């Protein structure tokens, strides 16, 4: 799902696996593991996606870089 953000281009979520995929405007894509559905919903609904990501997702969940 494309999102309205200056930093983040796209967000995808696999509910059954609690995997959150985040692709940034500069092209890097990451998958974050163990992200609850409620956090994903709040992320998508947040006024500032970048700020929400920085405070609620980055450095809180294990991740892997998928591409650059």
Please give the model's pTM, rounded to 2 decimal places: 0.93
| Closest-CA residue to 31 (of 62, 68, 55, 56) | 62
Residue 2 domain-assigned (yes or no) = no
Domain count, the chain: 1
**Residue at 48 is within a domain:** yes
Identify the pLDDT of residue 67.
73
Q: Is residue 29 part of a domain?
A: yes
Is residue 31 domain-resident? yes
Determine, yes or no, domain membership for 43: yes
Whether 3 is covered by a domain: the verdict is no
Domain limits for position 23: 8-67
Per DSSP, the three-state class of 55 is helix
Residue 16 lies in a domain: yes
Query: What is the reported pLDDT for 32?
Result: 98
Q: Each residue of 16-68: pLDDT tens digit?
A: 999 999 999 999 999 999 999 999 999 999 999 999 999 999 999 999 999 76
């Amino acid at each position: 799902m494309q999102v309205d953000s200056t930093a983040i281009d796209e967000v995808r979520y696999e509910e059954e696996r609690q995997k959150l995929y985040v692709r940034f405007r500069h092209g890097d894509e990451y998958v974050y593991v163990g992200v609850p559905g409620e956090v994903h919903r709040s992320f998508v609904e947040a006024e500032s996606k970048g700020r929400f990501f920085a405070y609620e997702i980055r450095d809180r969940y294990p991740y892997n870089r998928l591409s650059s």
